[in-house]
Amino acid sequence: MPTLVLVRHGQSLWNQENRFTGLVDVPLTDQGRQEARRAAEALKGMKFDVAYTSALTRAQETLSILLDALGQQVPTIRDAALNERNYGDLQGLNKADAAKRWGDAQIKEWRRSFDVPPPNGESLEMTAERVLPFYERAIAGDLRLGKNVLVVAHGNSNRSLVMKLDNLTGEQVVGLELATGVPLVYEMSPDGEVLSKHTASP
């Protein structure tokens, strides 16, 4: 049976600095690189046929470290459809500073509602509208061919995938937290149904 593994990239510089990152291309921290190596430990013994990642460096670097640690070279598809959610005018701002400017309640609504975007940015619903068609036309196709697929992307692009795979509503998915560098492993049927799910740990 094919396996799908989702990994959120390791800690980035702006995760560490508590800033809204979104589409800004920031690097991993040393801790983020360690998280990528720890993800590889958790996936030891698993063989992948293809990997997908976003157009952003922090996801690509996490994938590269992970595959190197596993000793695997696989075809890799990079696509902006898997990019992090665009946080618009919030990008680059410290989260505490943003709360002072717009108020805690407004920031919470932008971060935690399904369909309310920040100014000039994307809601989670809008993020899902680009992630899920890409899943259907690319990733799901590889799973139907029986391939084991590794996806290394971002908190909100992976959240969109989990929403589909776990049949969550928009209200349910906004409360979902995905830790950096922790693999989610889905055992799939050839027709794309989820048979089982677990979190991999070293």
Q: Please enumerate in sequence order all residues whose Cβ is within 8 A of that of 172, keeping only pairs 6 or more positions apart, or say none.
A: 163
Closest CA to 63 of 132, 125, 10, 129: 10
What is the Cα–Cα distance from 70 to 64, expressed in whole angstroms? 10
SS3 2: coil
Task: From the candidates 9, 35, 61, 154, give the one annotated as an active-site residue.
Answer: 9
Q: How far is CA 43 from CA 62, 141, 158, 184, in A?
A: 14, 22, 18, 10
Task: From the candidates 35, 61, 84, 122, give the one annotated as an active-site residue.
Answer: 84
What is the Cα–Cα distance from 181 to 34, expressed in whole angstroms? 9
Contact call for residues 58 and 9 (beta carbons, < 8 A) = yes
Residue 154 known to be catalytic: no
Catalytic residues: 9, 84
